């Protein structure tokens, strides 16, 4: 197992531990189709355009260019008519075997998750914690839906024909531990395990080795994934999700339950109070995410967090301290890669080199091999 | 784990050097003054040297960058002021330090070597031409002392103006071992190599004069570990340290036990940086 470390978080960033709902946005955006469609075309809620769900009902107002999954993409701008018209409703399904569950996931464009379930496993672990600092989605999903999560986990365990499934929570997360403990007795085949609060703990191999399980035989899932399966079985569309909007440039950091396709600008106008300072925006995490140049970005199913980080330190000249080499969990010679303009395929994109660098050099971007 | 930045690392380095300056003021100021060997204003000679270093830094920064920067050059200049011999003339020190500092600023664009050692060696050479090579303060020059091991640990041995306290050096090192950015393997392996070699030498010749060397301890903790001039990878740091320890031991027979660590550090830093540059042409 790698030597893991606990990262110090900025005490200024306090995330409010309740969910703010944003389920009636004025506009949502979805990537355009290959053929033209008329303006004022009616869109129905919970229909798919390619693999992107339209989370509201409304009409087409025009075509725009926005950051969609961190790429500048042409998108339809759909104006909400607040009528929630939808063409089909999902029904609660009774899953009898794993194949049915896989099909349900594939029908809802979750083939990655479906593929994860393929193969034979001896152990199943659900990690209920967020890897990134300044992110609390997994925590909040477990905290609010702990009964459903445990029920779904037990169902999945029986579908995989396993004797025991583990629910892993970080040992510092007292609130969730209390909630899970209050109910886990009703599931004799589920075991609660507490893991140390360290960065990269939720990686498959770290979880497995900490629990003395074989990596290849262990299926490690996240709370979000269990929650998605549960929602689909219960007949709910995955048209909204939790995202954490945090950072020391914000007066208040929030967990927002937002419709997919919403623009960050609209969220900003509605909920965020930004301190009068210069800041950078990080998409999907301060450590593992990427810096974006514009607030004109869209919340998609792959968005987990937006971090507004105060611009304090400018990039300086490398002082050759070697901290990046010391901290790299993959033992990459980061300093050499940086100086010789080399890229490493072993890079995990964990962002620890960026975090530790006293000269604030964006090492991750320069060494990771795309 | 807490993240730091260059400014904070520089500040920490300077804060940890302040006790050495205070000890220098005690040993090479107060004690000599109490014996009536120096006049009142010379009590603060260690402080004057540090102030001259600071003034040079401020003036050069204002001249070149139009603002004062808190960077590693500040640490380099303060370190030089702490390891100077007592007999250095303040005017000679000011002029030579200014010239060598400007020279290192220019040369560092083309070569990489330990700036502190470079400035120190030039200053020692110039001082040798003006005052001769001696690290004795007036009291040490006048009286003959028989130091106990405790005296040497406390810092009463002959050496730099503010760098002789082994106890302080060890305290700082033990504090530094908890600092993620500090290359703690370097002082560890320099001292280990040096101690093994001097102990073997002692077993052969029964001469224990070199075993406890305050300059090796101070130099290895503060100067050999300067990030800019030492390797970034752990295995290279260990090799670098062993090489310095070995060279220091050899050089004590040529240059004496005070200068040897600085000369060794300068030579090895020059060697590894030339090697690295040859390996990775840009």
Give the pLDDT confidence score for residue A126 in this predicted structure: 95
Cβ-based contacts of A339 with chain B (< 8 Å): 280
The 10s digit of each residue's pLDDT in B123-144 is: 999 999 988 888 888 887 777 7
Cβ–Cβ under 8 Å, residues A166 and A154: no
**Least CB–CB distance from B227: residue in A316, A320, A360:** A320
The kind and range of the H/E element at B228 are: none
Interface test with B, best of A198, A323, A353 (most B CBs within 10 A): A323
**Least CB–CB distance from A320: residue in B9, B180, B228:** B228
Minimal CA–CA distance to A274: which of A299, A309, A243, A304?
A309
**Least CB–CB distance from B227: residue in A8, A319, A333:** A319
B282 pLDDT above the threshold of 50: no
Residue with tokens 């001292």: B191
Q: Specify whether the backbone of A152 is left (phi greater than 0), alpha (psi in -120 to 50) or beta.
A: alpha
The CA-CA-CA angle for residues B165, B169, B170, to 5°, reads 120
Mean of pLDDT values over B91-117: 91
- Judged by a CB distance cut-off of 8 A, whether residue B67 touches chain A is no
Cβ-based contacts of B181 with chain A (< 8 Å): 321, 323, 358
Pairwise CB contact (< 8 Å): B5 & A313: yes
The 10s digit of each residue's pLDDT in A175-227 is: 999 999 999 999 999 999 999 999 999 888 899 999 999 998 999 999 999 99
Minimal CA–CA distance to B251: which of B214, B197, B200, B196?
B197
Q: Phi first, then psi: give them for residue A349, nearest 5 degrees.
A: 65, 30
Burial A357-368 (b: 16+ CB within 10 A, else e): bbbebebbeebb
CB neighbourhood size of A312 (10 A): 13
- Judged by a CB distance cut-off of 8 A, whether residue B180 touches chain A is yes
A98-233 under CATH 3.40.50.11540, yes or no: yes
Sketch the domain layout of chain A as residue ranges: 15-86+238-310, 98-233, 323-367
Minimal CA–CA distance to A199: which of A130, A140, A270, A146?
A130
Minimal CA–CA distance to B24: which of B92, B91, B88, B82?
B82
Q: Distance between alpha carbon B278 and the CA centroid of its chain, in Å?
A: 28
Pairwise CB contact (< 8 Å): A360 & B230: no
Q: Within chain A, which residues score under 50 in pLDDT?
A: none
The 10s digit of each residue's pLDDT in B5-57 is: 899 999 999 999 999 999 999 989 898 898 888 888 888 999 999 999 999 99
Smallest CA–CA distance from B4 into chain A, residue: A358
Cα four-point dihedral sign A30, A35, A39, A40: negative
**CA–CA distance, A203 with A269 (Å, rounded to integer):** 35
B241 pLDDT above the threshold of 90: yes
Smallest CA–CA distance from B230 into chain A, residue: A320
B272 pLDDT above the threshold of 60: yes
Give the pLDDT confidence score for residue A1 in this predicted structure: 60
The 10s digit of each residue's pLDDT in A144-169 is: 999 999 999 999 999 999 999 999 99
CB neighbourhood size of B235 (10 A): 9
Distance (Å) from the alpha carbon of B282 to chain A's nearest alpha carbon: 7
Secondary structure (3-state) at B150: helix
Cβ-based contacts of A333 with chain B (< 8 Å): 232-233
Model ipTM?
0.86
């Amino acid at each position: 197992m790698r030597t893991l470390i606990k990262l110090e978080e900025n005490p200024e960033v306090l995330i409010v531990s309740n969910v703010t709902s944003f389920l009636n946005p004025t506009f949502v955006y979805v990537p355009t189709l290959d053929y033209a469609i008329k303006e004022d075309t009616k869109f129905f809620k919970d229909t798919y355009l390619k693999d992107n769900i339209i989370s509201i009902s409304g009409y087409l107002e025009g075509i725009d260019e926005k950051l969609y999954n961190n790429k500048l993409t042409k998108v339809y701008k759909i104006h909400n008519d607040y009528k929630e018209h939808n063409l089909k409703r999902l029904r609660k399904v009774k899953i009898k075997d794993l194949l049915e569950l896989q099909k349900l996931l594939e029908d809802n464009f979750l083939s990655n998750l479906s593929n994860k379930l393929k193969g034979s496993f001896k152990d199943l672990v659900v990690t209920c914690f967020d890897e990134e600092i300044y992110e609390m989605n997994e925590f909040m999903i477990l905290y609010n839906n702990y009964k459903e999560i445990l029920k779904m986990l037990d169902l999945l365990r029986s579908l995989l024909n396993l004797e025991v499934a583990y629910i892993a929570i970080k040992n510092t997360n007292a609130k969730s531990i209390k909630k899970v403990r209050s109910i886990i007795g009703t599931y004799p085949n589920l075991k609660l395990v507490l893991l140390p609060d360290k960065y990269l703990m939720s990686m498959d191999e770290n979880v497995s080795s900490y629990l003395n399980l074989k990596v290849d035989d262990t299926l490690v899932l996240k709370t979000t994934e269990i929650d998605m399966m549960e929602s689909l079985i219960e007949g709910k569309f995955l048209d909204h999700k939790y995202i954490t909007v945090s950072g020391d440039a914000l007066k208040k950091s929030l967990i927002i339950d937002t419709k997919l396709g919403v623009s960050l600008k609209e969220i900003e106008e509605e909920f965020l109070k930004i301190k009068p300072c210069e800041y950078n925006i990080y998409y999907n995490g301060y450590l593992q995410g990427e810096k974006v140049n514009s607030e004109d970005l869209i919340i998609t199913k792959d968005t987990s967090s937006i971090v507004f980080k105060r611009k304090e330190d400018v990039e300086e000249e490398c002082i050759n301290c070697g901290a990046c080499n010391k901290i790299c969990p993959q033992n990459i010679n980061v300093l050499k890669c940086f100086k010789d303009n080399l890229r490493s395929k072993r890079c995990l994109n964990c962002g620890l080199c960026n975090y530790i660098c006293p000269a604030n050099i964006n090492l991750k971007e320069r060494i990771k091999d795309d | 784990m807490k993240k730091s930045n260059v400014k904070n690392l520089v500040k920490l380095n300077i804060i940890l050097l302040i006790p050495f300056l205070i000890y220098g003021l005690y040993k090479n100021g107060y004690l000599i003054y109490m014996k009536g060997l120096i006049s009142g204003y010379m009590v603060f000679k260690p402080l004057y040297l540090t102030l001259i270093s600071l003034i040079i830094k401020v003036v050069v920064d204002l001249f070149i960058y139009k603002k004062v920067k808190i960077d590693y050059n500040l640490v380099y200049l303060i370190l030089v002021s702490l390891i100077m011999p007592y007999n250095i003339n303040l005017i000679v020190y000011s002029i030579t330090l200014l010239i060598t500092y400007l020279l290192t600023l220019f040369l560092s664009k083309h070569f990489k070597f330990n700036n502190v050692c470079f400035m120190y060696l030039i200053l020692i050479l110039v001082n040798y031409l003006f005052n001769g090579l001696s690290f004795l303060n007036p009291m040490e020059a006048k009286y003959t002392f028989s130091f106990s091991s405790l005296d040497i640990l406390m810092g009463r041995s002959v050496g730099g103006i503010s760098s002789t306290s082994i106890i302080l050096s060890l305290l700082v090192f033990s504090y530094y071992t908890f600092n993620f950015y500090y290359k703690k393997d370097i002082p560890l392996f320099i001292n280990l190599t040096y101690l093994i070699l001097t102990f073997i030498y002692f077993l052969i010749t029964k001469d224990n004069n070199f075993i406890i060397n305050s300059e090796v301890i101070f130099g290895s903790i503060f100067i050999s570990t300067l990030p800019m001039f030492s390797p970034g990878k752990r295995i290279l740091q260990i090799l670098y340290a062993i090489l310095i320890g070995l060279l220091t031991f050899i050089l004590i027979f040529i240059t004496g036990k005070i200068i040897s660590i600085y000369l060794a550090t300068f030579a090895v830093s020059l060697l590894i940086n030339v090697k690295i540059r040859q390996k990775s042409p840009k």
